[in-house]
Amino acid sequence: MFKLPSFSFVALVLSLPLRYSYFVIKYYVYGTGSFVKYQNSLEKFLSVSMITTIYNNVQHQDLHFLANYQISFTLNLFKRSHSSFVKEKLPGYGEKYDANSTWLVKSDTNDSNDPVIVYLHGGGYAYQLGPSQLETVISTYLLLDPSKRSKVSILILDYKLSSMGFKFPTQRDQLHETYQNLTIREGYKNITLIGDSAGGHLALEYLQYLKSLTQDKLIDAEELETEKVIFPTNLVLVSPWVRVLVKPDQYVPGISHYDNRNRDIIRYGTFSKPEVLQSTFGDALYDSVGISPLSNPFSINDWNDIPTIKSNVLILAGEYETLRDDVLEFAENVFGCPAHSGTHGAYEVSDGNYHPSIHEFKTETENGKIGFELFVEPWGVHDAAFLFESAISKLNKGNIDVNDLEEKDFFGLKKIVNFLNEAL
């Protein structure tokens, strides 16, 4: 049944041109305010300001007006704007793989050992894939070393949205169907999951689901034969949503949910409302590991026997994002990263420059491969890599190397590309 938008939604939409003009004036007269990361870019300041306005002012009951379109719409929009670019550089672009997913690029090597990246977009399960997210995935692909790029395929999961009435674990079940098609039906063995925000949550919850299958399927050898459990080889998480239920005692001074409330694009009140949790996860136990990767109480036994987290894992977070402390606590609990307890509070006096002692943590495997990598972007906001770091305009002008990109402008994109160049 069609519902009319609320008065506040209509008012917000009508006010957007005026707000846009205000932000332009603000940039030149007063500066960027709390968004200090973007003080040298009007374009990015306008993007972060408009996204913040929409994310934090649209009422929950109006979300479906913003999300009622398919991923194919975003893909076609990019293709119309970059037709020759797509034809020359993105083979297989827009081809459906199955009912749940679409190829962004499809390698023609037909080798099951070649890497397949499955991208899980963010948006709180309520928003559809946006143009900036698509452009960052394409940028990542085109910036890979040519020897890697020639073998890589990228699949985008077109999962159903909570704003359209589909609660979790619908999205996890869709991922499983596509994942089984890739691994069991097609025989692909080298799968990388990349997820930003809610997409990071989906990736982690899918690992938990695969773990549950290994426990269940061992009981029935015949069924195990038809539905094998093959874990992803690599994992990339950008600002992952790891704590679903944020409680009032976590909204106090000294905690990023509180301290970064005016610095980030999302805020505590946006995703802590009961109606938001109910529409996203139903009546599930929000603290359980099957819903919240950072479960309460937390048990490392929930993660110990998941092969994917033993090596080739990358996590990115923003210094000024509200979810920062949740991400760091998860990294500490699962990967032994000391960044949460060891540097808590250090980000409050950041000068915006990169300091390895507080902004990174790395481990290696016994054979010298990547174990776990964590990078915190100085002054960075939530999901900055996928929202504000597209390199398409530069790539349109000709081939560039990832090292040609400025670190401060493409912090997350460079980390992802460098990780994939080594891990794939």
Q: Which residues pair with 314 in a beta bridge?
A: 236, 373
Distance CA 107, CA 103 (A): 10
Looking at CATH, the fold of the domain delimited by 73-423 is given as Rossmann fold (3.40.50)
What's the whole-model pTM score? 0.95
Which tens digits make up the pLDDT trace of 380-424?
999 999 999 999 999 988 888 999 999 999 999 999 999 999 999
How far apart, in whole angstroms, are the C-alpha atoms of residue 98 and residue 82? 25
CA angle, corner 182, sides to 123 and 205, nearest 5?
Answer: 40
**pLDDT reported for residue 369:** 86
Q: Which two tokens stand for residue 243?
A: 């704590």
The answer to whether the bond into 338 is cis (omega within 30° of 0) is: no
Mean pLDDT by 10 residues, the chain (424 residues): 84 96 96 93 96 92 88 95 92 96 92 93 95 97 95 97 95 97 93 98 97 68 58 97 92 91 90 87 94 96 94 96 94 85 62 87 88 95 97 88 93 98 95
Please tell me the distance from the alpha carbon of residue 345 to that of residue 325, in angstroms, as a whole number.
10
Q: Which tokens sit at 90?
A: 């993105």
Estimate to the nearest angstrom the gap between the alpha carbon of 412 and the chain centroid: 11
Condensed to tens digits (0 to 9), the pLDDT of residues 290-348 reads 999 999 999 999 999 999 999 999 999 999 999 999 999 999 999 998 766 545 567 76
Give the pLDDT score at 2. 65
Beta strands, E only, 106-215: 116-120, 153-157, 191-196
Edge-to-edge, what's the strand order for the sheet holding 96-98?
96-98, 101-105, 153-157, 116-120, 191-196, 234-238, 313-318, 370-377, 360-364
Structure tokens at 13: 């939409």
C-alpha distances (whole Å) from 97 to each of 59, 93, 159, 296 are 34, 11, 13, 37
Q: What is the residue-wise DSSP string for 291-336?
A: T-SS-SS--GGGTTT-GGGGSSEEEEEETT-TTHHHHHHHHHHHH-
Rounded to an integer, what is the distance from CA 192 to the centroid of its chain? 13
In what helix (H) or strand (E) does residue 98 lie, and over which residues does it extend?
strand 96-98
End-to-end CA distance of the chain: 47
- Please state, in angstroms and rounded to a whole number, the distance separating the CA atoms of residues 151 and 368: 23
As annotated, the residues of the chain forming the CATH 3.40.50.1820 domain(s) are 73-423
Antiparallel, parallel or unpaired: β 370-377 and 360-364: antiparallel
pLDDT at 223: 46
